[in-house]
Amino acid sequence: MNWNQWQPQETYLNTVKDVLQEALIPDNEIQRNVQEKITMIQNLPDFPFYLFYILGTPTYSEDIRSLSGILVKNNLSMTLQTIPPESFSQIKQECQNLLMDPSRDIRLSTSSIVVTIARDHLKNWPELIPFLLKSFSAQNEYSEIALSTLFKICEDLVSNQRSQEDIHRVTKEVFPKFNEYLSRDDCVMRQDIVRLTNQFLQDYFYIMKQSLDLTLYLRNVIRLADTDDVDLQKYVCHTFVIYVDKQEQSLLPHLHDVIMYLLEKNQHEDQEVSLQACEFWLATTKLPTCKDILTPYIDKLLPVLLKNMRYSSAELNIIKDSLGADSNSKDLSKDIAPFHMRDKDGQNDESLSDGDDNDVQGDDFDDLYMGWTLRKCSAASLDTLAIKFGDDILPILVPFISEMLNHSDYLVKESAILALGAIAEGCMNGLKPQLPELISFLQSSMNDQHSVVRVITCWTLSRYVPWIINVKPDSPHIYFVPIMLLLLKHFLDDNKRVQRAAISAFCVFQEEAQIKLVPYINVILEGFLLAFERFQCRSLYLLYDAIGALAQSVGNHLSDMDYVSKLLPPLMQKFNETDHYYDDHLVAVLECLANVIPALEVSFLPYAEVIFCHCLQLINDTLIACINYQEHPNEFDPPDKEAMSVAHDVLYSMALGLKTHFVKFITNSNLLFLLFTTIQDNSNLIRQTAIALYGELVTLCYPFLSSSISDYIPLIIKNLDEHNDSVCNNAAWVISKLCTAMGSNIKPHVSEIVQHFVHLLREPVVARTMHQTVAVALCTIFYVCPDVYIPNSTLVIKSCCMLIRNVKDSDEKDLAFRGLCEVINLYPDFSKNYFIYFCDAAASWFNIRSDLKDIIRNVLMSVKQQCNDDSWLPFYSQLPDPLKARLHDLYGV
């Protein structure tokens, strides 16, 4: 129905008006009736027209008109797609008219409608932004609503991540006007303008740089810096942080004044202002010129950071219920939430430094709900400054830290211990003469009566673990064993936060010690067993991480049956205690098993069948839940796939650990069928492990897979996508396994595979590890199918040489090198132009099989013979002396 020809019918109009009138009555029964009536009348095809008619008719009361506007907004979000273009144009025009309505309430209601329409149709409303800017610039009674509407539209662009085209168009029109208004003395929305501009600068800096004069904006912000408005001070600090983070050159002339301003604000009584100022130092440490910028101010900055590393009253209030002896009390609900400290690569999942790699987290592993605080930012800043400045800052820091360590206030002492941990990486060398005394002090601090001191001491000890592990290696009883036993002892601390800090520190200890732990496995397991008896849910999660870290550190030394008989029964008991497949605790136990099984090897066999069946059932049930949700989304919830992902991890670990013993489980199950589905899952994480598991099956039992292999290869090839590094890496690795198992039988798929590999090798954004895996897989194809066509052959072979030289000696590298030698013989152009890269790769071997050494020597000698002395000698003379020596030692060339 076209609004231009539409006329309200009196009966319907009165019905809608009466319902709106009733909706204003504060009575529960009437409100329930109103909801039923609205549900009925909103099915009228022209219901929005009635609402707009009432909204735009001044003879109705403002309350009814305003309520009509609210219903319009709610209704439009559902019906906008069905409104004809002519009517849509009329609606947009009516909205612009109503933004000029004499009633402020009507303007507010209309503003909400405009924002709702603009959310999905801003591109189809080109006149809106100019209209709002004109209204705003008029500086009359309608300006406020025009400005707030612009704000909401812009905020919506950011929060809903609209297209770059939309962002660019809006920023180009809006922000120069905002900046112009910001420079005026009568600007009444300084806070909002600076906040919004900062948000766009942070998310779309390079678009904003094209749209806004950043020098002029910075001048305006600096002019606003001298304000008593706390929120505005916070936003001003944020502007300076963004400028230094983006290395915006216009900041340089003002750098001294900005730094002095931020040093002052970093000591502000308002924690948020101080935090925002502190972010500047953290951002500056990322710059290559950090030391040059901050050296003149470092003696003023470091004391400020140290002072701000104390717990605030707000932080203490958050942890107040967990400061005493609470090991026997039940975990709070917030403590029982899923918590997995480390991923498979031993990386911390809970980074608290805004995506940076800083490891200065103190006890943050335990206070995730506390958020990013001034204390944490100050510690992270000190850590990165220590790395940048090294031992040079010790003369400034040491007197302050020493004074703090001897302070009567335990919170000051605690912050000093945090500071010692923060400077560990950057200043370890300069601290070495004091480390025996320092470690002794930390050992005594582990018995401090205040739990916060014990917590932070655990963390700080973990920062000095590299020194503890490696100093006096022939006398482990001096540092190694005492620190190990001290951490194990505090697994049983009467405070749960200390327990968790001790486990976290012990994980670091194990990861650093590696094989040095072997003589102490029994002692460590005894500590774990005591912890099993005492720990509650949150601490158990970390204990599982510690068990996994032990397994990864000592490897198959853990497979001794005495150790297995201690470790597995409590783990399996926890496994059997869970009620259902998707219990978070069960997921944590399975993650632990995934880390442990490869180390246990065949010692895990007595437990293998029950775990295997459980994982298969879990995958099967999750896939059924996915189908149910896809077919009946209104009846079923979307399934949680985390447990299925972990089940894949466990099966992959079983394949690694049990090897040929795993084959009987595969051949008597539907695992292969399940993998056909999960390799196509929309979750990158699940595809990543499913593909890896399939690759292990190729190695273990190719004959069993061979009849269906042609169905799986296209799925593997489909995952050769540079947008998902880990998935793509595993897919490339599987292809190299397939080449080894299939030989030349893989030829029907080789052309497509090579096309993908060549594309990936040209892609600069791809992770280097994935590039190496692709190069190895491609060279393995050269080995089994040497006559394959290679587009841009010389450049591709050059890339393979450069990448394979950095691969560690292994069977995979051996096979790939054989393929590389085959293909170099087929492409003489490579030998003419890029042979130095092959020489460099050939020199990368340390432990090379004799027959491969002969093959490489033959390639080198063949090329030398093809060249006469006039060509070979100039080529050979340009090789670096270490490379010549290496080629001579390995191949006699």
Mean pLDDT confidence for 377-391: 97
Sign of the torsion angle spanned by Cα atoms 542, 547, 548, 553: positive
Predicted confidence at residue 550, as pLDDT, reads 97
Predicted confidence at residue 421, as pLDDT, reads 97
Q: In this model, does residue 348 exceed pLDDT 50? A: no
Mean pLDDT confidence for 463-483: 94
Q: How confident is the model over 655-689, as pLDDT tens digits?
A: 999 999 999 999 999 999 999 999 999 999 999 99
Predicted confidence at residue 367, as pLDDT, reads 57
| Helix, strand and coil in the chain, % to nearest 5 | 75, 0, 25
Mean pLDDT confidence for 379-387: 97
Averaged confidence pLDDT in the chain: 89
Q: How confident is the model over 736-769, as pLDDT tens digits?
A: 999 999 999 999 999 999 999 999 988 776 677 8
Nearest-angstrom CA–CA distance, 773 and 781: 12
* Contact indicator for 775, 737 with CB cutoff of 8 Å: no
Q: How confident is the model over 706-742, as pLDDT tens digits?
A: 999 999 999 999 999 888 889 999 999 999 999 999 9
DSSP 736-799: HHHHHHHGGGGHHHHHHHHHHHHHHHH-TTS-HHHHHHHHHHHHHHHHH-TT---TTHHHHHHH
Question: Which of 16-25, 189-198, 445-454, 536-545 has the least mean pLDDT?
Answer: 16-25
Q: In this model, does residue 352 exceed pLDDT 60? A: no
Nearest-angstrom CA–CA distance, 481 and 509: 11
Q: In this model, does residue 34 exceed pLDDT 80? A: no
* Contact indicator for 826, 787 with CB cutoff of 8 Å: yes
The Cβ-side half-sphere exposure at 279, using a 13 Å CA radius, reads 23
Predicted confidence at residue 324, as pLDDT, reads 86
Predicted confidence at residue 839, as pLDDT, reads 93
Crossing angle between the packed helical segments 480-489 and 435-445, to the nearest 10 degrees: 20
Please write down the HEC assignment for all residues of 46-71: CHHHHHHHHHCCCCCCHHHHHHHHHH
Predicted confidence at residue 579, as pLDDT, reads 63
Q: In this model, does residue 164 exceed pLDDT 80? A: no
Report helix, strand or coil for 277: helix
Q: Which residues in 801-836 are b (16+ Cβ under 10 Å) and which e? A: bbbbbebeeeebbbbbbbbbbbbbbeeeebbeebbb
Q: Which residue has the higher pLDDT, 252 or 581?
A: 252
**pLDDT band at 247, cuts 50/70/90?**
very high
**pLDDT band at 369, cuts 50/70/90?**
low
How far apart, in Å, are the Cα atoms of 269 and each of 272, 303, 307, 308, 312? 9, 16, 12, 11, 11
Q: In this model, does residue 355 exceed pLDDT 70? A: no
Closest CA to 507 of 467, 553, 539, 476: 553
Nearest-angstrom CA–CA distance, 207 and 201: 8
Which residues, including other chains, have CB under 8 Å from residue 732's CB and lie 6 or more apart?
Answer: 720, 757, 760, 770, 773, 774, 776, 777
**Around Cβ 888, how many Cβ atoms within 10 Å?**
11
Nearest-angstrom CA–CA distance, 777 and 305: 50
Nearest-angstrom CA–CA distance, 268 and 121: 44
The top-scoring range by mean pLDDT among 40-44, 764-768, 811-815 is 811-815
Question: Which of 331-335, 495-499, 604-608, 793-797 has the least mean pLDDT?
Answer: 331-335
Nearest-angstrom CA–CA distance, 734 and 477: 46
Which residues, including other chains, have CB under 8 Å from residue 551's CB and lie 6 or more apart?
Answer: 558, 595, 596, 598, 599, 600
Q: In this model, does residue 808 exceed pLDDT 80? A: yes
**pLDDT band at 893, cuts 50/70/90?**
confident
Report helix, strand or coil for 549: helix
Predicted confidence at residue 883, as pLDDT, reads 93
75 phi/psi in degrees, rounded to 5 = -75, -35
Crossing angle between the packed helical segments 709-718 and 747-762, to the nearest 10 degrees: 10
Predicted confidence at residue 368, as pLDDT, reads 52
Q: In this model, does residue 350 exceed pLDDT 60? A: no
Report helix, strand or coil for 43: coil
CA 671 to chain centre: 31
Question: Which of 29-43, 302-316, 545-559 has the least mean pLDDT?
Answer: 29-43
**pLDDT band at 359, cuts 50/70/90?**
very low
- For the record, the structure tokens of 293 come out as 């910028």
Q: Which residue has the higher pLDDT, 49 or 328?
A: 49
Question: Which of 300-304, 385-389, 454-458, 793-797 has the least mean pLDDT?
Answer: 793-797
Nearest-angstrom CA–CA distance, 546 and 557: 16
**pLDDT band at 187, cuts 50/70/90?**
confident
Burial of 532 (0-12, 13-18, 19+ CB in 10 A): middle
**pLDDT band at 4, cuts 50/70/90?**
low
- For the record, the structure tokens of 7 come out as 């006329």
User: What pTM did the predictor assign?
Assistant: 0.83
Nearest-angstrom CA–CA distance, 654 and 657: 5
Nearest-angstrom CA–CA distance, 775 and 773: 5
Predicted confidence at residue 91, as pLDDT, reads 86
Burial of 208 (0-12, 13-18, 19+ CB in 10 A): buried
Nearest-angstrom CA–CA distance, 91 and 108: 16
DSSP 442-506: HHHHTT-SSHHHHHHHHHHHHHTHHHHHHSSTT-TTTTHHHHHHHHHHGGG-SSHHHHHHHHHHH
**pLDDT band at 344, cuts 50/70/90?**
very low
Q: How confident is the model over 277-311, as pLDDT tens digits?
A: 999 999 999 999 999 999 999 999 999 999 999 99
Percent of the chain with pLDDT over 90: 65
Nearest-angstrom CA–CA distance, 459 and 497: 12
Predicted confidence at residue 518, as pLDDT, reads 97
Q: In this model, does residue 433 exceed pLDDT 70? A: yes
Mean pLDDT confidence for 141-148: 87
Nearest-angstrom CA–CA distance, 114 and 112: 5
Q: In this model, does residue 435 exceed pLDDT 80? A: yes
Instruction: Name the β-bridge partners of 348.
Output: 342
Report DSSP state, residue 227: -
Q: In this model, does residue 446 exceed pLDDT 80? A: yes
Q: What is the longest distance spanned by two Cα atoms in the chain?
A: 105
Q: In this model, does residue 576 exceed pLDDT 60? A: yes
**pLDDT band at 136, cuts 50/70/90?**
confident
CA 464 to chain centre: 26
Predicted confidence at residue 271, as pLDDT, reads 95
Mean pLDDT confidence for 385-399: 96
Mean pLDDT confidence for 63-67: 89
Which helix (H) or strand (E) segment holds residue 384: the answer is helix 374-389
Q: In this model, does residue 38 exceed pLDDT 90? A: no
Nearest-angstrom CA–CA distance, 555 and 534: 27
First-to-last alpha carbon distance for the chain, in angstroms, is: 87
Nearest-angstrom CA–CA distance, 696 and 659: 9
Q: In this model, does residue 581 exceed pLDDT 90? A: no
Instruction: Name the β-bridge partners of 342.
Output: 348
* Contact indicator for 319, 367 with CB cutoff of 8 Å: yes
Report helix, strand or coil for 342: strand
* Contact indicator for 498, 488 with CB cutoff of 8 Å: no
Mean pLDDT confidence for 31-42: 77
How far apart, in Å, are the Cα atoms of 68 and each of 74, 642, 651, 750? 10, 45, 59, 65
Question: Which of 35-44, 208-217, 616-625, 839-848 has the least mean pLDDT?
Answer: 35-44
Q: How confident is the model over 449-460, as pLDDT tens digits?
A: 999 999 999 999
